[in-house]
Amino acid sequence: MLWEKKLEQWANTIRSSTAVPLRIELWNGQQVNFGHDLPQVIIRVPHVSALSCLLTPSMSNLGKAYVDGMIEVEGEPGAMISVGNLLARHTLKLEGKFSRITRKLSRSKTKDLAAVQSHYDVSNDFYRLWLDEHMVYSCAYFEKGNEDLATAQLKKIDHILLKIGLKPGDTLLDIGCGWGALVIRAAQKYGARCVGITLSENQEKLARERVAAAGVSEQVEIRLQDYRDVSGCFDKITSIGMFEHVGIENLPAYFAKMASLLADDGVAMNHGITSTDADNGETPYGNGEFIERYVFPHGELPHLGRALKSIQEGGLEVVDVENLRRHYARTCAIWTDNFERNATEIRRLAGDRRYRIWRVYLAGCAYAFDQDWISLYQVVCIKAGKNPSRLAWSRHYMYDKAVSVSGLAEANLSQ
């Protein structure tokens, strides 16, 4: 009876400050309602041992209980995440491990390889079930706001390639190339010669198959390679959803490596998730802890200011910055819907535990972008110390669909 009494006291405390569309159903048939209307989320507790995680409802504790099957949760993923964070906000103090803490992580090539493979080598079929047909696993670009995901992902790729002024014959390095969508588009539409690198064996294999199927094998090379081992000189460099894996302390060296590979008149683009905490803290209430434990080991998100400082320290000059937070919130929401629609097949393919992890993760990311806990920035760079006369006078070239690929270079680099 002690635990049930604590539960009722906790519920009374929350109800006195806010209505939460939640019902908790206990093993003994008792029900505890946290709101006045029909609940959007029902948490079923099969044993008294699971109550401790509810009474300290960080997203790490709640997520672990759900992943491990200690509790069952009924409701849409977005509602689950919203309710969980409401419980955390009205129960926990935003301090200590529940605040926006910064983790200190040790890194090496071996650790980075293991971290990337643990995330991306689930299986290609797993990702195929909820990504778009091009298998782009990064923020889409909803130019008008009503595009389907596949269209928005191609628009994102074109937006990037227009920003860097890609033209026929250019050499392009794509760091963290995923399943090859960007390099294929760069070769097919823009006539570029591309190298895409990844640490994921699954991505490398499928990317090579997709390159061959697209008929651009003569223009595109896919490598299983660490960015630190790349040599050569490239007219354009893209890094899409990669620098989150690098580590905050390693960012200056990362951008210095990019600068060393970039031609003197080249252009680079970093497209990555950032923390909105000025001290580079992770998302609060245990959300960051859940991601570190189950999804993205060794992932670190810098604040935009830290990222820009690191870019300058690496020998690059920032010439354009664009915030796409709203676009990533939409992207994650669509991924979440796709994931739910294919839940039966995902469970069969990946197992119930991984299904639960990714269900929480995808909906949690959408929530974090909506809450302005994290953001997404595209940053265009050139080598520092160069004459600015080759830069465009305005950003018009990024959006004018009438500009040809050959004319884009002139607009971007000769004005």
As a whole number, mean pLDDT of residues 192-202 equals: 96
Nearest to 240 by CA among 314, 305, 181, 308: 181
Query: Which residues are designated catalytic?
Result: 365
For the cut 50, the answer to whether the pLDDT of residue 175 exceeds it is yes
For the cut 50, the answer to whether the pLDDT of residue 407 exceeds it is no
For the cut 80, the answer to whether the pLDDT of residue 357 exceeds it is yes
As a whole number, mean pLDDT of residues 332-338 equals: 98
pLDDT of residue 167: 95
Cα–Cα distance between 63 and 68 in angstroms, integer? 8
pLDDT of residue 208: 98
The model's confidence at residue 158, banded by pLDDT at 50, 70 and 90, is very high
Cα–Cα distance between 373 and 190 in angstroms, integer? 36
For the cut 80, the answer to whether the pLDDT of residue 301 exceeds it is yes
pLDDT of residue 308: 98
pLDDT of residue 403: 47
pLDDT of residue 401: 61
More confident residue, 335 or 1: 335
As a whole number, mean pLDDT of residues 332-346 equals: 98
More confident residue, 210 or 49: 210
Cα–Cα distance between 233 and 268 in angstroms, integer? 12
As a whole number, mean pLDDT of residues 92-104 equals: 60
More confident residue, 401 or 6: 6
For the cut 60, the answer to whether the pLDDT of residue 410 exceeds it is no
What phi and psi values does residue 173 have, to the nearest 5 degrees? -105, 125
Percent of the chain at pLDDT exceeding 70: 89
Percent of the chain at pLDDT exceeding 90: 73
pLDDT of residue 113: 60
pLDDT of residue 227: 97
Could you report the per-residue pLDDT of 215-267, keeping only the tens digit for each?
999 999 999 999 999 999 999 999 999 999 999 999 999 999 999 999 999 99
Ordered structural domains, the chain, with CATH: 2-98 (3.30.1050), 109-413 (3.40.50.150)
pLDDT of residue 408: 41
Could you report the per-residue pLDDT of 381-397, keeping only the tens digit for each?
999 998 888 788 899 88
The model's confidence at residue 4, banded by pLDDT at 50, 70 and 90, is confident
Crossing angle of the two packed helices 304-313 and 251-261, in degrees rounded to 10: 50
Q: What is the largest CA-CA distance in the chain?
A: 77
Cα–Cα distance between 32 and 45 in angstroms, integer? 11
As a whole number, mean pLDDT of residues 27-31 equals: 92
pLDDT of residue 323: 98
Q: What is the mean pLDDT of the chain?
A: 90
For the cut 90, the answer to whether the pLDDT of residue 105 exceeds it is no
* Eight-state DSSP code of residue 267: E
